[in-house]
A and B are shown apart, each in its own frame.
Chain A
Amino acid sequence: MNWYGCWTLYSRESRRFLNVKMQTIVAPALTAIMYLIVFRYAMGARSVPDLDVPYFEFLIPGLVMMAMMQNAFANTSSSIMVGKLMNMQIFLMMAPLSAFEVTLAFLGAAVTRAAIVAVVLLLVLVPFSDMHIEHVWMILFYGVCGSIIMGGMGMIGGMWSKTFDDMALLNNFIIMPLTFLSGVFYSVKQLPESWQAVNHFNPFFYLIDGFRHGFLNVGDTDPSQAVLIVSLATVTTMFACWQLWRTGWRLKD
């Protein structure tokens, strides 16, 4: 293992987003706050049906998780896209770093960015509510796994995209619908039965629900089933990243 090289790449990927923190941390925080203000006044003091939780509190964990996932995705995908655009990914390919080390460093940085965004958002949003942490392990498990899955999808998307148009396509037609329709803004119990079933095929649904469960102690899924599904999705994503990078998919053709 080239641990020092892996560490260097990780810190490079982390410093890269810290160098542009207005875009990478402040902007996502602002977006989440605006969502919250809008829904706060639109929904008033209403509760989520069947869950007996104020809508406002229901929304906070979902928004935090959504921001984490989007930022994890953005970190890896934009790094690889800018690398392609600047022809800079060659340095990564020339360095004596194995695919495993590259995957580890990229996903580690994605989790770091997601964690920083989450902490900033929670610090800003929590004072407006009286929610508290119910299950730390759930928050950490779903937060980290969600960031790894999305960071990994960002890596794969970055490798796949030839242009920023491709990336926008992926973002707008796959990532955005999956995150928006994953129960950030609603409880699946509010949906017609058939749609509830469909939601169970959306991996993001388990992530958001589990993360929220950690704060509110209520959820739409069975936690033991969700842990299994999320673990499987995390391992699969990491394995896919590792294999695709190892074979140089769309990078070394």
Chain B
Amino acid sequence: MGIALEVKQLTKTYNNGKKALEGVDLSVPEGSFFALLGPNGAGKSSLINILADTVKPSSGQVTFLGKDLFTERRWCKKQLGVVPQEIAFDPFFAPRDILKIMSGMFGVKPDMKWIDELLERLELSEHAKKNARQLSGGMRRRLLVAQALVHKPKVVILDEPTAGVDVELRKRLWGFMRELNAAGTTILLTTHYLEEAEELCDHVAIINQGKLLTSQSMKGLLDNVGSSSLVLEYPEERIVSTDIEQKLADFSPRSQGNKVTLCLKKTDGHTNFNDAYQAALATFGEATSVNIQDEDLEDVFLRITHENQT
């Protein structure tokens, strides 16, 4: 499998002196469903806007489907569809016309069958002839998705496309994206809904403060970085004294009221659940309830971005 997108040492410093990107590296495999995560202000949108050619980079290199993005822009643009984060719409036209115009600007004679299919899949058929001003926020966002897909790009970038879209519709939108991905389209996605990224994406990268923190397969990230913990509940309050803390140092114990949490470690695919449970039994007595909590993407995300800050 080839590389759809290879970003090397990309930097961006805005005119006001704000450093948005400080040498980001990123490699997106062709055909992947790639999640780009990071807290607000991490530089995700700056990166995407540079790829979309709406912002100039300060320095760095980008290879897009094997070609230099900055010297072969025109070819690259034809293979790329971008859904911008901020809602934008053309107040002079209706969705069907907007899609025809967008297709034409890409040098593609409007394929009305595809445009109708897009309108239908994104549930805009009923509103196809209304002026874009009359559309609701969610509809405008779906129109942005349609605009990004109208020229049938090989790589699609979605910058938080589901903000303000209701749950039902979000599911259907993701169903559509999955189909496109299955048909060979590379999809790069930023989202604030981490469970969405976890469910949809096979690769994940986390950036913060303009730098790449990690980039790997979603499974790899959840397996290797993601640990789980043992949560025990007791009839009465339990306090982790310094003494206990030393004794159970392996499990970094912490308590909250009648709840005690012990961190588990994974070695060769086995967790040390038994050791932890035995240690807890010896220290705190019999528990009323025992639970294993898997660290999900959100925990991993928070931990990695937090580690980076301290």
Task: Give the interface of A toward B (CB within 8 A).
Answer: 2, 4-5, 7-9, 12, 15-16, 19-20, 82, 86-88, 90-98, 248, 252-253
Contact = CB atoms under 8 A, between A and B. Distances in A.
B105 A91 contact: yes
Contact of A94 (B15, B54, B75, B101): B54
Given A7-B104, A96-B106, A252 B55 contact: yes
B11 interface: no
A19 B104 contact: no
Please provide the 10 A-B residue pairs with the shortest distance between their CB atoms, ordered closest to farther. Answer: A8-B104, A87-B88, A96-B77, A95-B105, A96-B74, A2-B107, A5-B107, A252-B56, A93-B54, A90-B54
Given A8-B101, A12-B104, A94-B54, 9 more contacts: A5-B107, A12-B105, A19-B93, A91-B105, A92-B105, A95-B105, A95-B106, A96-B75, A253-B56
A88 B52 CA distance: 13
Contacts of B78: 96
B68 interface: no
A95 B108 CA distance: 11
Interface of B: 14-15, 52-56, 73-75, 77-78, 80, 82, 84, 86-93, 101-102, 104-109, 147
A9 B87 contact: no
Contact of B52 (A7, A93, A248, A253): A93
Given A16-B92, A82-B91, A96-B73, A4 B52 contact: no
A108 to B, nearest CB: 15
A185 B106 CA distance: 46
Contacts of A9: 104-105
B145 to A, nearest CB: 13
21 contacts: A4-B109, A5-B106, A8-B101, A9-B104, A12-B104, A15-B93, A19-B92, A90-B88, A91-B88, A91-B105, A94-B77, A94-B82, A96-B73, A96-B74, A96-B78, A96-B105, A96-B107, A252-B53, A252-B54, A252-B56, A253-B55
B14 A253 contact: yes
Nearest to B77: A96
A7 B108 CA distance: 12
B309 to A, nearest CB: 28
B79 to A, nearest CB: 10
B72 to A, nearest CB: 10
Nearest to A253: B15
A8 B104 CA distance: 5
B52 A90 contact: yes
A4 B90 contact: no
A2 to B, nearest CB: 4
A226 B86 CA distance: 48
B52 to A, nearest CB: 5
Contact of A248 (B56, B89, B102, B106): B56
A87 B53 CA distance: 14
Contacts of B104: 4-5, 7-9, 12
A91 B92 CA distance: 14
Contact of B105 (A16, A86, A97, A253): A97
Contacts of B55: 252-253
Contacts of B108: 4
Contact of B147 (A20, A91, A93): A91
Nearest to A97: B105
Q: Taking each of B75, B88, B93, which has the highest tally of chain A beta carbons within 10 Å of its own beta carbon?
A: B88
Contacts of A93: 52-54
A109 to B, nearest CB: 13
A2 B74 contact: yes
Nearest to B131: A19
Nearest to A252: B56
* Most interface-central of A9, A15, A86, A98 (chain B CB within 10 A): A86
A12 B105 CA distance: 10
A77 to B, nearest CB: 15
Given A9-B105, A95-B106, A87 B56 contact: no
